[in-house]
C-alpha cells in the first residue's frame, strides 16, 4: 500500500513547498521507491488555465492535456515522473464535481455539506490511481489558516485516520525569519503556525524551517519543544544558490532518512546526489555566458515563463554556459529601439502568448533575427508571429495576420472549427474559455534531412500543445519556395508543427511547448541546440 506524505505551509506563501516536495520525491526515488506528487489547490478556478500569468505564474501543461499549477513543472523536472491530469485538483474542480452529482440527485435527498461531501471527494481524489506507488507526496497550496484551505486540511486529517496514522506523514514548512536590527532568529511565527495547524487537528511529524541563515541548535530545540516535534525532525532549509542544490541540501539534513524512519522502512539503497552535484557545479562555476532575449508580454513576473527559463538554463548546462535572460516587454518595445535593445544578445526567443498587445514589436524583432542571422526560437505564438513576419515581408502578403487578433486581413493563422482526437471533440469555438484548446501531447513527423530532424534524432516526436489557432497548411508550398520549410507536420499532414529557415544558421519555430519536457538531468535537445547556436553566434 502507498504511504502518504502531506506537505502544508505556514507563516507566508512562496517558501518553496513545491521545490521541497519535489526534492523529497527525488531522494526517495533514488533510494529505489516509486513516488507520485500531487497538488491540492484551494482556489475556486476549476483549473489555472483561465488565470493570467500575472496572477498565478505559468500554466503548466501535462501530457494528458491538463492545464495545471506550475508546481507540477517542478515535480516533473525533479522527479522525472510525468504528471497526470489527476495530479492537480482545485476547490473549483471538487465543488463542480459535487454540484454536478447533487443536480443528478445522486445524494439521495441528503443535505450536501462541506463535511462529509466535499471532504469525501477530496479524499477520493488523493487516493485515486495510487495502488502502484510506494509514496504519494501531496502538497496543499496556500498556507494553513486560509479560509479556502480548510476543507483540504480537514480532508487530510480524516484521511490519515482512515488509513492509519502509521501510513500518513505530515510535513509543515514554515519561515524562521532573521531580524537584522536585533540580530536574532525568531521561532515564534513557526510556533504560531503549528498551533494553528494543531487547532484543526493536525500535529506535524516533521517541520521544515526555511531560513536565510543556519538555525542554531538552541532555536531548533525551542521549535522541537514548543511544537512537540522530535528534534531530529526539525529540519532547516537555508536559501540555496541554485535550485539544483535543494536535493543535496535536504539530503544533508537527512529529510529522506527521517521520512523512511517514520514509516519504519529500511532503505533499499543510499541516495545518489551525484547528478545534482554535477549540475550545481556547472551552474555555479561556469564563467562563459550567453545573452538570450525573451520578448513577451509577461516578462515582468518571473514565474510567468517558469518552464521556459528552466529549459534555457538546462540548455546552458549542456553547453557549459551560463544563460543570461534579457527580458524585454513586447508591449513597450518600439520598432526604432529594436536594433539597440538586441545589440548584445546572441539568441532571440518569442514565447507563447495570447491576444494582440505587443504583436508588432515581436514581429519586428523576428525580422531583425531573420535578416541579421541571429539564432531565433519561436514557441507557439512565437512560431505564428514568425509565419506572419515571413508572409508580410518575404511573400509580400502585406495583410497577413491571425484571426486571433485581426478579424480583417489575410488569415494565415486561423481557427479550426472542430478538432477530433480519438473521436472526442477537444477543440471548439464556443465562448467557454476553459478547455477549448488543443491541449496536451500530440505527435509530429519530422522531415528527412531537416535541421529539426538532426536535433531530435528521431522521425516521430511527441510534444505538448496549448493553443487554439493553427497555421493554414495551404500556404505551405508558397513558404517553402521562398526558403521557409514546414519541417514538422501532424501525422495526417494537416497541421504545421515546425518551421525552419533554410538560409539561416538557426531559425526554428514550433507550434508546441518543448519547455514543458526539459529536465535538468535530461535537457531538451531543442534548447541545447538553440544555446549552442547562440554560443557560436558572434
Q: Report, as residue numbers or ranges, the catalytic residues.
A: 380, 513, 515
Q: Which is nearer to ligand GLN, 451 or 468 (CB)?
A: 468
405 lines the binding site for ligand GLN (CB under 6 A): no
Taking CB under 6 A as the binding criterion, the range among 65-73, 289-297, 299-307, 460-468 that sits at the site for ligand GLN is 460-468
> Measured from the CB of residue 405, what is the shortest distance to ligand GLN in angstroms?
9
**Contact between 87 and 72 (Cβ < 8 Å):** yes
Taking CB under 6 A as the binding criterion, the range among 212-220, 253-261, 334-342, 463-471 that sits at the site for ligand GLN is 463-471
Q: Which is nearer to ligand GLN, 19 or 380 (CB)?
A: 380
**Contact between 3 and 169 (Cβ < 8 Å):** yes
Please name which of 102, 163, 104, 90 lies closest in space to residue 130, comparing C-alpha atoms. 163
DSSP conformational letter for 115: I
Rounded distance between C-alpha atoms, residue 440 and residue 61, angstroms:
6
> How many degrees, rounded to 5, is the angle at CA 122 between CA 121 and CA 127?
100
169 - beta bridge partners? 5
| Residue whose C-beta lies closest to ligand GLN | 352
**Using CB under 6 A, which of 151, 353, 520, 525 touches ligand GLN?**
353
510 lines the binding site for ligand GLN (CB under 6 A): no
468 lines the binding site for ligand GLN (CB under 6 A): yes
380 lines the binding site for ligand GLN (CB under 6 A): yes
58 lines the binding site for ligand GLN (CB under 6 A): no
466 lines the binding site for ligand GLN (CB under 6 A): yes
Rounded distance between C-alpha atoms, residue 520 and residue 535, angstroms:
19
Q: Which is nearer to ligand GLN, 174 or 359 (CB)?
A: 359
**Using CB under 6 A, which of 245, 404, 497, 500 touches ligand GLN?**
404
> Measured from the CB of residue 308, what is the shortest distance to ligand GLN in angstroms?
11
Rounded distance between C-alpha atoms, residue 398 and residue 156, angstroms:
59
390 lines the binding site for ligand GLN (CB under 6 A): no
- Cell 474559455: give the residue: 433
Q: Which triple of cell numbers denotes residue 448?
A: 528527412
Q: Which residues, at least 6 apart from 120, have a Cβ–Cβ distance to it below 8 Å?
A: none
289 preceded by a cis bond (ω within 30 of 0): no
Q: Which is nearer to ligand GLN, 81 or 413 (CB)?
A: 413
354 lines the binding site for ligand GLN (CB under 6 A): yes
Rounded distance between C-alpha atoms, residue 447 and residue 252, angstroms:
48
Taking CB under 6 A as the binding criterion, the range among 30-38, 348-356, 386-394, 421-429 that sits at the site for ligand GLN is 348-356
Q: Which is nearer to ligand GLN, 220 or 464 (CB)?
A: 464
> Measured from the CB of residue 359, what is the shortest distance to ligand GLN in angstroms?
10
Taking CB under 6 A as the binding criterion, the range among 40-48, 322-330, 465-473, 517-525 that sits at the site for ligand GLN is 465-473
352 lines the binding site for ligand GLN (CB under 6 A): yes
Taking CB under 6 A as the binding criterion, the range among 153-161, 199-207, 235-243, 351-359 that sits at the site for ligand GLN is 351-359
How many residues touch ligand GLN under the rule CB under 6 A: the total is 10
Give Dmax (Cα) for the chain.
Answer: 75
Please name which of 103, 119, 300 lies closest in space to residue 201, comparing C-alpha atoms. 119
Rounded distance between C-alpha atoms, residue 313 and residue 298, angstroms:
19
**Contact between 81 and 25 (Cβ < 8 Å):** yes
514 lines the binding site for ligand GLN (CB under 6 A): no
291 - beta bridge partners? 324
Rounded distance between C-alpha atoms, residue 187 and residue 211, angstroms:
10
Interface residues toward ligand GLN, by CB under 6 A: 352-354, 380-381, 404, 466-469
Amino acid at each position: 500500500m502507498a504511504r502518504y506524505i502531506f506537505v502544508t505551509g505556514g507563516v507566508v506563501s512562496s517558501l518553496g513547498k513545491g521545490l521541497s516536495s519535489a526534492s523529497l520525491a527525488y531522494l526517495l526515488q533514488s533510494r529505489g521507491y516509486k513516488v507520485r506528487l500531487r497538488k491540492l489547490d484551494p482556489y475556486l478556478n476549476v483549473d489555472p488555465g483561465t488565470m493570467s500569468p500575472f496572477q498565478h505564474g505559468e500554466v503548466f501543461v501535462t501530457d494528458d492535456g491538463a492545464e495545471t499549477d506550475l508546481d507540477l513543472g517542478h515535480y516533473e523536472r525533479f522527479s522525472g515522473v510525468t504528471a497526470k491530469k489527476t495530479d492537480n485538483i482545485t476547490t473549483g474542480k471538487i465543488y463542480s464535481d459535487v454540484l454536478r452529482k447533487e443536480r443528478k440527485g445522486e445524494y439521495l435527498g441528503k443535505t450536501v455539506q462541506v463535511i462529509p461531501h466535499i471532504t469525501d471527494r477530496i479524499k477520493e481524489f488523493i487516493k485515486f490511481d495510487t495502488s502502484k506507488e510506494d509514496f504519494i507526496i501531496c502538497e496543499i497550496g496556500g498556507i494553513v489558516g486560509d479560509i479556502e484551505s480548510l476543507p483540504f486540511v480537514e480532508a487530510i486529517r480524516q484521511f490519515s485516520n482512515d488509513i492509519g496514522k502509521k501510513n500518513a506523514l505530515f510535513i509543515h514548512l514554515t519561515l524562521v525569519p532573521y531580524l537584522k536590527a536585533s540580530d536574532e532568529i525568531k521561532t515564534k511565527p513557526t510556533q504560531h503556525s503549528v498551533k494553528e495547524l494543531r487547532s484543526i487537528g493536525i500535529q506535524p511529524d516533521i517541520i521544515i524551517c526555511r531560513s536565510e541563515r543556519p538555525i542554531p541548535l538552541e532555536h531548533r530545540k525551542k521549535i522541537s519543544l514548543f511544537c512537540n516535534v522530535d528534534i531530529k525532525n526539525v529540519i532547516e532549509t537555508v536559501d540555496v544558490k541554485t535550485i539544483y542544490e535543494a536535493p543535496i541540501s535536504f539530503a544533508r539534513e537527512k529529510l529522506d532518512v527521517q521520512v523512511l524512519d517514520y514509516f519504519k522502512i529500511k532503505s533499499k539503497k543510499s541516495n545518489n546526489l551525484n547528478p545534482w552535484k554535477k549540475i550545481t557545479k556547472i551552474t555555479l562555476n561556469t564563467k562563459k555566458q550567453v545573452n538570450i532575449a525573451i520578448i513577451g508580454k509577461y516578462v515582468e513576473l518571473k514565474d510567468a515563463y517558469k518552464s521556459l527559463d528552466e529549459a534555457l538554463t538546462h540548455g546552458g548546462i549542456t553547453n557549459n554556459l551560463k544563460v543570461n535572460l534579457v527580458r524585454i516587454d513586447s508591449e513597450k518595445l518600439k520598432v526604432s529601439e529594436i536594433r539597440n535593445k538586441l545589440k548584445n544578445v546572441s539568441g532571440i526567443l518569442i514565447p507563447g502568448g495570447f491576444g494582440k498587445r505587443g504583436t508588432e514589436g515581436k514581429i519586428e524583432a523576428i525580422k531583425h533575427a531573420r535578416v541579421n542571422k541571429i539564432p531565433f526560437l519561436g514557441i507557439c505564438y512565437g512560431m505564428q508571429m514568425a509565419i506572419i513576419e515571413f508572409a508580410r515581408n518575404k511573400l509580400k502578403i502585406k495583410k497577413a495576420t491571425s484571426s486571433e487578433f485581426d478579424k480583417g486581413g489575410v488569415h494565415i493563422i486561423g481557427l479550426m472549427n472542430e478538432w477530433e482526437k480519438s473521436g472526442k471533440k477537444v477543440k471548439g469555438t464556443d465562448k467557454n474559455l476553459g478547455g477549448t484548446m488543443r491541449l496536451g501531447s500530440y505527435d509530429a513527423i519530422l522531415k528527412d534531412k531537416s535541421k529539426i530532424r538532426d536535433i531530435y534524432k528521431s522521425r516521430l516526436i511527441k510534444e505538448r500543445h496549448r493553443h487554439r489557432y493553427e497555421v493554414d497548411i495551404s500556404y505551405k508550398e508558397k513558404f517553402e519556395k521562398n526558403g521557409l520549410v514546414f519541417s514538422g507536420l501532424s501525422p495526417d499532414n494537416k497541421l504545421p508543427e515546425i518551421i525552419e529557415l533554410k538560409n539561416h544558421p538557426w531559425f526554428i519555430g514550433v507550434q508546441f511547448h518543448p519547455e514543458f519536457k526539459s529536465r535538468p538531468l535530461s535537457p531538451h535537445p531543442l534548447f541545447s541546440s538553440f544555446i549552442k547556436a547562440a554560443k557560436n553566434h558572434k
